[in-house]
Amino acid sequence: MLIAHVLRDKGAVVYTVRAEATLEEAARILNEKKVGALVVIAENGAISGVLSERDIVREVARGGGACLGQTVGAVMTRDVCTCDPTETVDEGLGRMTDRRIRHLPVVQGEQLIGIISIGDLVKHRIAAVEAEAAAMQAYIATH
């Protein structure tokens, strides 16, 4: 199964934020949209980072509530790992596991076309394993 199939099933909505926004503003967006990460977009539309709930929690642990006035750009992950829609779910899971990340922006060429979480990929991987098991059971039952 490909990343493109995951996006087709879950939708390609990506919530973004600017680096100039405050952590408080970003936390509100995360809460309102019920997502775990925001893609940080530069003025020219390029990906400049990713801000996750974990990034905010770590900053609050370091600096207390006052850190919520800091900018997203000061806290975001700048070394963004992305994936292509033609990659497999297993390739995405491997990259997430190796990098110890939970979200991958999906990029086609230079354009952001979606974002996937490790939960999205695990859900699709489990569905594939269950379908395979059901097919095997049906085969065994008919032979």
pLDDT, tens digit, 9 for 90 and up, residues 30-78: 999 999 999 999 998 899 999 999 999 999 999 999 999 999 999 999 9
DSSP string covering 77-96? B-S---B-TTSBHHHHHHHH
Q: What is the pTM of this model?
A: 0.86
Nearest to 17 by CA among 108, 99, 115, 119: 115
Residue ranges per domain, the chain? Answer: 3-142
Question: Is 47 within 8 Å of 82 (Cβ atoms)?
Answer: yes
Where residue 129 falls among pLDDT bands split at 50, 70, 90? confident
Q: Which CATH superfamily is domain 3-142 in?
A: CBS-domain (3.10.580.10)
* Amino acid residing at 124: H
Within the chain, where are the H helices?
3-10, 23-33, 53-63, 72-75, 89-99, 118-142
Instruction: Return the SS3 of 23.
Output: helix
**pLDDT value at residue 83:** 96
Classify the phi-psi angles of 107: left when phi > 0, otherwise alpha if psi is within -120 to 50, otherwise beta: beta
